[in-house]
């Protein structure tokens, strides 16, 4: 949880210190409905609401578009969803092959769609970016990591341990290699979650900083500063377009890495 913080900013043209909200304030988790049971906190927060909203939007929109199997002459929305599914399906088939891919297309597509919709929801002004919360990003990455590991263990039993010793490696180096491979394997979900969290947080913070800078310039009652304030506004539009691309890119990267981890668990080395 990131607390609301205030930092002083010196404004030369006003001649004093002004209290400005931190750009990190947009990531603050706020308790909406406090619920405590047996000493455990089950409170409903803005983060939980937006997670449920993301799931509701995916299920609702997809159900409406694919009602009764979809239209014979597909609408543009149906074409878009089918293109997204074909895109992810081809990605999974490319990574896992035609034999294993059909089993895992649904889970990879679900993860891709959730991350994409959550990212896009976070770009709506005054909304909340759940994927910019470290706990949400880690919940996704660690749950998938545990699932992928279980798939490997169920499929290969004890032979799964050979994953931590590269084939052809000298026996004398086995203790060192096993430790390195184990640490590398454990850091997979950490890097996956941090990558999503860091990219979304950086982009949203930059938008907030530039927007605050533009608003401050507009608050100075001079024609020159008001005209100059249009420059940050143009930069905001450009960065917003970049953030749209990042939203798709991060969902794609998340899906690709999930496919790679699945391939490693299924095929080992």
Contact 132/248 with Cβ under 8 angstroms?
no
Span 223-239, mean pLDDT?
A: 71
Q: Which of 87-96, 165-174, 233-242 has the lowest mean pLDDT?
A: 165-174
Cβ atoms of 128 and 47 closer than 8 Å = yes
Query: pTM for the complete prediction?
Result: 0.79
For residues 230 and 48, the answer to whether their CB atoms sit within 8 Å is no
pLDDT at 80: 82
Q: How many helices (H) and strands (E) does the chain have?
A: 6, 6
With bands split at pLDDT 50, 70 and 90, how would you rate the model's confidence at 24? low
Give the integer Cα–Cα distance in Å for 90 and 110: 15
pLDDT at 122 over 80: yes
Does the structure show a pLDDT above 80 at 223?
no
Question: 105 and 156 in contact (C-beta within 8 Å)?
Answer: no
Mean of the per-residue pLDDT values of the chain: 79
pLDDT-derived band at 8 (thresholds 50, 70, 90) equals very low
pLDDT band at 6 (very low <50, low <70, confident <90, very high): very low
Whether residue 34 contacts residue 241, with contact meaning beta carbons closer than 8 Å, is answered with: no
Instruction: Count the neighbouring beta carbons within 10 Å of the beta carbon of residue 267.
Output: 14
Which residue's entry shows tokens 């506004």? 233
Query: In 3D, which of 198, 225, 199, 201 has the Cα closest to residue 213?
Result: 225
Q: Are 6 and 19 in contact (CB under 8 A)?
A: yes
Angle of CA points 94, 98, 104, to nearest 5°: 80
Higher per-residue confidence, 216 vs 131: 131
Tell me the C-alpha distance between 57 and 44, whole Å. Answer: 19
Question: Using 50, 70 and 90 to split pLDDT, how confident is the model at 256?
Answer: very high
Q: Which tokens is 176 given?
A: 């060192």
Strand partners, 7: 20
Angle CA 13–16–17, to nearest 5: 120
Which tokens go with 251?
A: 């969902």
Give the model's pLDDT for residue 218: 65
pLDDT at 203: 79
> Cα dist. 192→2, 63, 143, 189 in Å?
21, 30, 12, 5
Q: Is the pLDDT of residue 129 over 50?
A: yes
């Amino acid at each position: 949880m990131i607390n609301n913080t205030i930092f002083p900013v010196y404004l030369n043209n006003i001649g004093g210190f002004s209290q400005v909200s931190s750009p990190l304030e947009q990531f603050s988790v706020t308790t909406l409905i406090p619920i405590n049971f047996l000493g455990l906190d089950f409170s409903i927060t803005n983060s939980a609401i937006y997670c449920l909203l993301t799931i509701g939007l995916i299920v609702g929109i997809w159900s409406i578009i694919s009602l009764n199997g979809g239209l014979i002459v597909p609408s543009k929305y149906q074409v878009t969803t089918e293109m997204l599914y074909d895109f992810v399906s081809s990605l999974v088939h490319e990574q896992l092959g035609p034999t294993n891919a059909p089993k895992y297309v649904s889970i990879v597509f679900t993860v891709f769609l959730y991350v994409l919709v959550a990212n896009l929801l976070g770009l709506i002004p005054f909304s909340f970016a759940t994927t910019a919360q470290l706990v949400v990003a880690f919940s996704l990455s660690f749950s998938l990591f545990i699932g992928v590991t279980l798939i490997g263990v169920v499929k290969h039993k004890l032979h799964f341990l050979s994953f931590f010793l590269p084939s052809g490696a000298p026996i004398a180096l086995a203790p060192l290699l096993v430790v390195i491979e184990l640490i590398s394997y454990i850091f997979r979900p950490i890097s996956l979650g941090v990558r999503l969290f860091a990219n979304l947080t950086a982009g949203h913070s930059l938008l907030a900083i530039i927007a605050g800078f533009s608003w401050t310039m507009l608050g100075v009652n001079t024609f020159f500063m008001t005209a100059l304030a249009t420059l940050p506004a143009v930069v905001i539009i450009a960065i917003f377009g970049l953030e749209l691309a990042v939203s798709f890119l991060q969902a794609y990267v998340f899906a690709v890495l999930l496919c790679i981890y699945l391939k490693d668990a299924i095929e080992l080395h």
